[in-house]
Structures are given as structure tokens and as C-alpha cells.
Structure 1
Amino acid sequence: MITSKNSPVLTIVVPCYNEEEVLPETVKRLEHILEQLMSNKLVSEHSTVLFVDDGSKDRTWELIEQYHLTHHLITGLKLSRNSGHQSALLSGLMTAKEYSDCVISIDADLQDDVEAIREFIIKYHEGYDVVYGIRRTRTTDTMFKRGTAQGFYKLMTKLGVQIRYNHADYRLMSKRTLDHLAQYREVNLFLRGIVPLIGFRSTEVYYDRHERFAGESKYPLKKMLSFALDGITSFSIKPIRLVTVLGFILFLVSVIATIYGLISKFMGNTVSGWTSLIISVWFIGGVQLLAIGLIGEYIGKIYREVKHRPLYIIESFLSADDKEVVTPRAASSHEAELQHSQV
């Protein structure tokens, strides 16, 4: 058994968006696992759960405030607007790292097995700075979702992105890992790709993923596709290189077609086929539009990066030391500004 002296301060960061239906059960389960860890001296008694309200339109923040007043382990962070899952998660991580030895991120829907948190902490005590939560199987997914997810991971790997197969954002990170994460100042966030770039000693914990406890998924197909595209274009320039290669191939095809046309003319067979002409026009036109769209994606990301807008703005912070709502002086996406904004 680990002594109290070596018990780290743990913060469990939970990004929330319209989670009023599942929040009561999430609070109950996370409090229970945290109390178990405290009783076993695996984590400090100063450990907490930090719920991050990402501009919810329902009673999510109201419930967080209530639980903060009635449950000593519950803290809260409210963003001024909906900033997206990755930005909300980052805001919680950057806030928690100021008073925590390690931080675990988990979604509020209870699909990730909270019992795996104990294994995360054990691995942390063994000297690991990053512990990835990995799904054992995808039996709970539909055939379409399972196929597209596996295809995404394989594609990212082939593009050279360091990403853990079947890992989402359920992970533990030490304070020094979070300190280095704060140095990544990019606007186009894809934490699943950024965290492995930091390095440090890492390991994996396998768990079984459950069905969503209540409410509706916040990641419909449109958002999933957008998230996948962000991940691909944020970490690899290979797609745009493929456009160059494709352009070169089409150039060679056009040269061959030109030679064929000249030979046909000299041989007196100058009647060209309507089908081949239409197919060529549509194919080349489609490739051009695809190439322009892909280039536009990269230009759009450059545009967002150079503006240096904050990823999120913190409206309120309910700390463990105070039962009143505390409003920071300012808040931003970057580490230096965050240090001035925390209470």
C-alpha cells in the first residue's frame, strides 16, 4: 500500500455539453471511484473532479453548481460559449495542471469504464507519465462506425501520425506532460495526435466500452467526419503531396492521349469517342475540384492559426477552496495567459 506522503493530487477532467440527463450518475460514479482511491492512499485527499461546461444550453452548469455546493469533491469550469470538445478538454487540463500532480480526462457519457481509473493510477505510481485508455473491442459499435473508425486509425498511421489504435481521449497525464502540452500553441487541436508527440514514458490500460448511459451522442456523422479531417490535415501534408502526384500522373495520361490523337490523325481515323471525352472531362474536373478543396483546407487552417484567437474563454471557475463562483480576470488558449486567469 502506498503511503499518504506519496499520494498524488489527482484531478478528473470531464468536458460536458448538454449532459443534464447523465450528469447525476456521472457524479455518483466518479465520486465513488475517487473515494476508493483516497481510502487506499493511492491519491491525495485533495483530489477532485473538474466538470467543464462547454457552453451547454440545458441545465448542465446549474447542476454543476449544485453539486459543487453539496459535494466536496466536485469543482466546475464554465466556458463563455461552445468551443468544441477538444478546446473544452484543453481548458480543463490547463486549469487542473496548476494544482494537480496528474490529470485523467474522461467523457461525461459513462461509455468509458470508470473502474479503469484505478489501473491508470497504479501505472502512474509505476513511473508512467502518460497512460492511454484502449478499448478491447468495438462490439458495441454499429458495423458502419466500426469500419470507418478502423479505417481512420489505419489511414492516420499510414500518413505518419503517431496515434494509438482504439484510443479516444480517455487518458492520464502527469503534470510535466501537461506543462509540455501547454507549449503546443496550435489552434487546430487534435489531442490524440499531439500527446504522443510529447514523448515521456507511456503505457496502455485496456477496458470494455459501454453503451451511453443517457442522453444523445454529441458526435453525429457530420462531426465525426469533420473531426477526422481535422486530424488528418493537422498532422500530415501527405494528402496535399498526393494531389501533386495525382497531377503528375494525369499529366502523363494527357501526354499519352496527345500522342494517341496525333497518331489517329495521321492514320486518318480522326473521329473521337463521345464516351471517352465525357469521362475525361468529368474525371479531370472532379480531381481539380478535389485538389482545390484540399488546398483550401490547409489554407483555412493557416488562416485560423495566424489570427491567434483564444481557443476558449473561461467565464467562471468553481474551485475546491471556495464555494462561490470565481470569475477570472482573463482567459486564453495559451499557457501564459491561463496562469494569469486562474484563481
Structure 2
Amino acid sequence: MKAPILYISIPCYNEEEALAKTIDHLLVVMNNLINSELISKESRLLFIDDGSKDRTWEVIKSKHQRERMVLGLKLSINSGHQKALLSGLMFSRKFADCVISMDADLQDDIWVVKDFVVKYLEGFEVVYGVRKSRDKDTWFKRVSAESFYKLMLKLGVPVIFNHADYRLLSSRVLNHLNEFKETNLFLRGIIPLIGFRSCTIEYDRKERIAGESKYPLKKMLAFAWDGITSFSNKPIRLVTTVGFISLGISAAVGLYALFSKLADHTVSGWTSIMISLWFIGSIQLLALGVIGEYISKIYSEVKRRPLYIVEEYLTESTEFKLDIEPTLIRELRK
């Protein structure tokens, strides 16, 4: 069997401190795989600068000038991790037999790449990298992360437990991924929907080699909520359920008030009135908030704006660059 062309797609946002080491480490991995004849010499590393404010793009350009294996895409603005990742996947599918996505901080065990490729050669078209444990995480992060996966599964979102975005996808899977046109991206939920033969590889997640995490609690919560609302209508059904429960409670309170009136046991109480008003008001605001979230998703989808725009390319093919550079990257997805 001919050795496959492998692309590794790495989104980067303000990774100046870690990026040079990341590239050097990945070059060692890629050259080892090429020397072992597991992957083709045409395999490449693709780094996507997601609108970084530091010297991330300068580091990528410098490495590209010295190493033909290093390619780069520079997005015009910060589009977000999922969209940056998608831009790399859609670019890579034009040239690669399979693509591995990972983060730029080397927390994902890069030596597992070989295991991914071996599984691909065995016929698996999707290989998920799954964390063995979260022993190195803080108690809060471990509990919140595991609760997130359990909640997603209960809501019917087809996520892989303890899997982030470290995975291998075949070109066939990527071509089908191209058919998913939604603006609200949650790739961890979309990939399992595509199907095809898949497996998991367990690995130990490491500490960042440099820099700080680009996913603080606020972003993690926003990401989790996007995943839930993009894949499940259960929250909005929950609002309906709460509405019926509230209606039942109101009916019971109404009957109690009526019987109290007939029995002449009524006592005017400010507290009970205020509690009822606050309860009903909070239910209404909660319902409006959840409905509003879904309406905002619809609003984003119907506008059909491009997910990202590539400002600059670092590739080997001048012809390819001239062909697509004046257009939006969305054209790659047609």
C-alpha cells in the first residue's frame, strides 16, 4: 500500500512563546514517520494563525522559509478555535489522504500520531484521541469537564467522552464534513454524525510547554452552551416542561386560595404575593432567555456569512495561491 499523505492542522492564537518548540517537535515526529515509510514525503504541517496579536505569524513565516514541510494560513481576524480548525481541515483535504488536528501547546501527546496513522492504515477513517485520565487537572476543572460530557450525552449530543479536537480524519470523511454548512460549529458533535469506521486511542495529556491557556472558564462555558444549543432541542423542551409544572403549581395555589376564601380563612399576605410574582417572573425570563438563544442561532445561520477569511497563505503551490487568494475561503467548501 502506498504511504498516505498526512497533514497535521494546528490552529494558533497568540502562541508566540510555544510555537517554535511545537514546530521543531512535530518536524521530528513527521520525519520519523517518513523514514519509517508510514507516511509520504509530501506530508505537511499546516499552522493556522487565528488573528493572533503577537508574533505568531512571524514565527510561522520564519519556519516556512527554512522548512518546506511547514505551511501556513493567516485568518484576517480572530474567528474562534472551531472555525480556525475548520479552515485548516478544508484546506488540507485538497492535498492529503488523512488529516490530524491538534492544539499548538503540545498538551496532546504528539507521539500518538504514529498510532493514529497505524489505525488509518488498518482501515479506520476516524481516530479519536481520548484522555486516559484527568488526574493532573484541578478538582473544579475535572468535575466540570466530566459533567459537561455526561450532560451532552444525556441531551443526545453524540460526543466522545474525554475527547477534544485531537483526531485523525480521512479525506472521505473531510469531504462529507464539507457538506455540513452550519455557522454554529461544534466539531466534536458533527464528526460522530458523519459515521464511517472509527476507533479511539488513549493518551496522557501533558502540561503546556509555554504560554497560558487560551480557554478560560468564560470561554469554556460559552463553548459548552454553543455545543448544547447547536445539537439539542432538549433545553427548549425543558422550558415547556417547567411551564407545565408552573401551571400545575399555580392551579394548586389557586384552588387553595379559593377554598380559603370560601372557608373565610383568608389573610392578606404581602409575602406570598411577592414570592408568587418573583417565581412566575423568573420562569418567564428563563424561558425567554432559552428561546432567545435558539433564535440567535437561527439569525446567525440565515445570514450565511463566511465562517472565516484567509488573509495570507504560505504554501508551495503558487498556482493554487493565485487561484483562490482573491476569494473567500468559503469557495474551498463548494
**TM-score with structure 2 length normalisation?**
0.97
Partner letter of residue 93 of structure 1?
L
Percent of paired sites with the same residue = 58
2:332 is equivalent to residue 338 of structure 1: yes
Matches within 5 A, 1:70-149: 70-149=66-145
Identify the match of residue 294 of structure 2 among 288, 293, 298.
298
Q: CA offsets, 1:64-104, max 9 Å, x none?
A: 00100001210001111110000000000000000000000
2:262 is equivalent to residue 241 of structure 1: no
8 A Cα contact 2:64 2:70, kept in partner: yes
8 A Cα contact 1:316 1:325, kept in partner: no
Unaligned runs of 5+ in 2: none
Q: How far apart are the structure 2 equivalents of 1:332 and 1:304?
A: 18
RMSD in angstroms over aligned alpha carbons? 1.6
2:185 is equivalent to residue 189 of structure 1: yes
Corresponding residue for 1:53?
A: 49
Q: How far apart are the structure 2 equivalents of 1:199 and 1:79?
A: 30
Matches within 5 A, 1:1-343: 6-321=2-317, 328-333=325-330, 337-338=331-332
Q: How far apart are the structure 2 equivalents of 1:315 and 1:285?
A: 48
Q: How far apart are the structure 2 equivalents of 1:91 and 1:192?
A: 15
Q: How far does residue 139 in structure 1 lie from its aligned partner after superposition?
A: 1.2
8 A Cα contact 1:75 1:318, kept in partner: yes
SS at match of 2:17: coil
Partner letter of residue 330 of structure 1?
T
Q: How far does residue 321 in structure 1 lie from its aligned partner after superposition?
A: 4.2
Moved more, 232-241 or 140-149: 140-149
8 A Cα contact 1:8 1:44, kept in partner: yes
Query: Judging changes above 3 Å, is the alpha-carbon distance between structure 1 residues 339 and 305 closer, same or farther for their aligned structure 2 residues?
Result: closer
SS at match of 1:21: helix
Partner letter of residue 326 of structure 2?
R
Q: How far apart are the structure 2 equivalents of 1:319 and 1:203?
A: 32
Unaligned runs of 5+ in 1: none
Q: How far apart are the structure 1 equivalents of 2:106 and 2:279?
A: 46
**TM-score with structure 1 length normalisation?**
0.94
Partner letter of residue 70 of structure 1?
R
Q: How far does residue 109 in structure 1 lie from its aligned partner after superposition?
A: 0.8
SS at match of 2:9: strand
Q: How far does residue 339 in structure 1 lie from its aligned partner after superposition?
A: 5.9
Q: How far apart are the structure 2 equivalents of 1:110 and 1:221?
A: 20
Moved more, 273-282 or 55-64: 273-282
Q: How far apart are the structure 2 equivalents of 1:284 and 1:297?
A: 20
Q: How far apart are the structure 2 equivalents of 1:236 and 1:52?
A: 30
Q: CA offsets, 1:109-135, max 9 Å, x none?
A: 111110111100000000000000000
Instruction: Kindly tell me the number of residue pairs found equivalent between the two proteins.
Output: 333
8 A Cα contact 2:178 2:333, kept in partner: no
SS at match of 1:115: helix
